[in-house]
Amino acid sequence: MTKTRLKAGSAYSFFYPRHNYAGIRSPLEQRCVLVISVRDTRKERLDPTTKRINPRLNRGRWLMIGQDRDKGSERSFYVSSMTDIKPVPRDQQPLASNRFAVIDRNRVAFSAESLGEALAYVLGSGRGVLCGVLQDHRGED
């Protein structure tokens, strides 16, 4: 599994263990997640505290961070533990073909082509309101 299979700003459905611990079997749950980012843990290592807190977690090389539609919160998933990964149908993708802007203090603080980038900015900065740009009138008279 490679990073390129999951694209930031796109939504995917997949099955993931309810509890992802090494050596412990757990029922699979279907998840639907909007990808914010995919991290190569060989290049961007996990914080040692993270490993100490949960040493039995079944970790893999690729860590996907996304907005879980069913649970309504940001979650992380090891790609190697995901099965039956499928893109959400195009008509259910979140504003996939539009641009996005983050508004802070009545101005555009950030703009991006993908929802994942814009969402990552909001989550990273802790500020702003994420908006989908439906029409862009720049340059028009």
Higher pLDDT, 29 or 97: 29
Mean pLDDT value across the chain? 78
pLDDT in tens, 80-127: 888 899 988 876 666 544 577 888 887 888 888 777 888 888 888 888
* pLDDT computed for residue 12 by the predictor: 92
Q: Which domains does the chain have, with CATH numbers?
A: 3-89 (2.30.30), 99-133 (no CATH)
Over 50: is that where the pLDDT of 128 sits? Answer: yes
Per-residue pLDDT band at 15 (split at 50, 70, 90): very high
pLDDT over 70 percentage in the chain: 78
Higher pLDDT, 42 or 90: 42
SS (H, E, C) the chain: CCHHHCCCCCEEEEEEECCCECCCCCCEEEEEEEEEEEEECCCCCCCHHHHHHCCCECCCCEEEEEEECCCCEEEEEEHHHCEEEEECCHHHCCCCCCEEEEEECCEEEEEECCHHHHHHHHHHHCCCEEEEECCCCCCCC
pLDDT over 90 percentage in the chain: 6
